[in-house]
Amino acid sequence: MSGSTTQTTTTPTAPSAAGSAVPTDLQDERLRQGTGLKGALSTFVGNLRQGELGILPIILGLVVIALVLQALNPIFLAAPNLVNLLLESAAVGTIALGIICVLLVAQIDLSVGSVSGLSAAIVAVLFVERGLPLGIAIAGCLLTGVVIGGLYGLAFNRVGVPSFVVSVAGLLGFLGLQVYLLQPQGSINLPFDSPLVYFAQQAFVPPLLSYVLVAALAAGLFLTGLANARRRRAAGLSAGSLTSLALRSLALLVGVGLFVAYLNTARGVGWMFVFFVGLVLGLHYMLTRTKWGRSVFAVGGNVEAARRAGINVRWIYTSTFMLCSTFAAMGGILQTARLAAANNSTGGGDVNLNAIAAAVIGGTSLFGGRGTAFAALVGILVIQTISNGLTLLNLDSSFRFMVTGAVLLLAVALDSVARRSRTSSGRG
């Protein structure tokens, strides 16, 4: 039988999709979702009440933190400082992207700091000591990341070792390898004129191009939204209000445009930060628009259901571990580039926990199946803002650790509260 014929026989009153006044998906009379701008707004408020917080609370939090820091030290919001802050965010933010992947399948990787340190050592050894082309050195790092993630996947899938344990073993093992590779000096400097260091320290988007990029971003949002709405209407489905789409695109254009203009009064937007944003958008696409991304959320939500749906669960686990280690390796290269050196403490200290904290503060659930790639962007900005602001106040790392810890606790508490209000409003 074909769905369209039985559709008309079982519900003779239901108008056919194409010619009906009411879109197919809005015909249920219990659906109070209004249309137009007002509808979008009320749906949004409803979601908020039911614990679908999205990214809003953390953005509000970021604004509050920034305002407090600005009140304490007027240098904080000065353009040169913000330019710096964004550049400082890229490396650990990139690592946080990988953490999001493993958290989505309800796993964890505690070795990202060490893997990034190892990667820093590899790029320095291959590029500086061996004199290999930069491209090959970078490829070597990324390949190392893929292999490490593959090994974690193997240990997890075949041997059944929890990812927590495997990655703690990795944390120690790869730290050791990093130190071994950097012997005897324990540190290798990158030449300042190398393209890598230039990319991380000197390369800024020309002002004109920066506005073009912002405009392209806003136009992209508007046009894909428009195309999507057209397709939905053609198929007899409802589509969001055009006004709200236009307003959102305009807000993006003006908001980000003004911010970029402000940054352009100093050195502007660093290419490394643009690169990081590109990675965020790429991962966002992978997670929301591909079969693989859908499978990742399914595995995080209910492994058994995913398995029975024919999803290759083992591959989903392995691929997320691989992505995580590869993002960590990439983050390691960016750290080296930023510092113009790889040493024994690259990737050490708070890198590991900041990456995990960024993912969680950004709204990735620790219980699997919930989160977005934008969590890395927002989360790392919160952490960098705190770190940067407290440094400006001449407070040492002890305060930084304590404040970041408090924010992390707040984020996790928010996640749990949201989870509870989702349960009580029947959204699991």
Partner 1 sequence: MTMTDAPAPSPTSSTREVLSLRGITKSFGAVAALSGIDLDVLPGEVVAVVGDNGAGKSTLVKVLAGVHRADSGTITFEGREVTIATPADAQHLGIATVYQDLALCENLTVVENLFLGQEKGRMRLDEVAMEVRAWELVRQLSAKIPTVRIPVAALSGGQRQTVAIARSLLGDPKVIILDEPTAALGVAQTAEVLNLVERLRESGHGVIMISHNMEDVRAVADRVVVLRLGRNNGVFAVKDVTSEEIIAAITGATDNVVTKRSAARASRAADGAPVEVAAAPATTDAVGGATR
| Per-residue contact string for residues 309-338; x = within reach of partner 1 by CB under 8 A | xxx---------------------------
Which are the contacts of 399, defined by CB distance < 8 A and separation ≥ 6? 390
Q: Does 425 bind partner 1 (CB under 8 A)?
A: yes
| Per-residue contact string for residues 270-309; x = within reach of partner 1 by CB under 8 A | -------------------xxx--xx-xx-xxx-xxx-xx
| Per-residue contact string for residues 342-371; x = within reach of partner 1 by CB under 8 A | ---------------------------xx-
- CB nearer to partner 1: pick between 30 and 158: 30
**Binding residue for partner 1, selected from 49, 130, 231, 420, defined by CB under 8 A:** 231
Q: Does 1 bind partner 1 (CB under 8 A)?
A: yes
Q: How far is CA 374 from the centre of its chain?
A: 4
Q: What phi-psi label fits residue 89: left (phi over 0), alpha (psi between -120 and 50 degrees) or beta?
A: alpha
- CB nearer to partner 1: pick between 215 and 286: 286
Which tokens belong to 151? 């090994």
Q: What phi-psi label fits residue 347: left (phi over 0), alpha (psi between -120 and 50 degrees) or beta?
A: left
- CB nearer to partner 1: pick between 13 and 394: 13
Q: Does 13 bind partner 1 (CB under 8 A)?
A: no
- CB nearer to partner 1: pick between 158 and 291: 291
Given a contact cutoff of 8 angstroms between Cβ atoms, the answer to whether 293 and 371 are in contact is no
- CB nearer to partner 1: pick between 42 and 187: 42
**Residue 309: CB atoms within 10 Å:** 12
**What phi, psi does 270 have (nearest 5°)?**
-70, 145
- CB nearer to partner 1: pick between 248 and 294: 294
Which tokens belong to 57? 């609370």
Please identify, among the stretches 27-35, 62-70, 213-221, 321-329, the one whose residues bind partner 1 according to the rule CB under 8 A: 27-35
| Per-residue contact string for residues 138-177; x = within reach of partner 1 by CB under 8 A | ----------------------------------------
H or E segment and range at residue 341: strand 341-343
- What is the rounded CA–CA span in Å between residue 114 and residue 148? 11
Q: What phi-psi label fits residue 310: left (phi over 0), alpha (psi between -120 and 50 degrees) or beta?
A: left
The DSSP result for 85-154, as a single string, is HHHHHHHHHHHHHHHHHHHHTT---TTHHHHHHHHHHHHHIIIIIS---HHHHHHHHHHHHHHHHHHHHH
Q: Does 49 bind partner 1 (CB under 8 A)?
A: no
**Binding residue for partner 1, selected from 33, 42, 265, 424, defined by CB under 8 A:** 33
- CB nearer to partner 1: pick between 117 and 240: 240
- What is the rounded CA–CA span in Å between residue 330 and residue 377? 16
Q: Does 424 bind partner 1 (CB under 8 A)?
A: no
Q: Does 25 bind partner 1 (CB under 8 A)?
A: yes
* Binding stretches for partner 1 (CB under 8 A): 1, 3-4, 6-7, 10-11, 14, 17, 24-25, 28, 30-31, 33, 228, 231-232, 235-237, 289-291, 294-295, 297-298, 300-302, 304-306, 308-311, 369-370, 422, 425-428
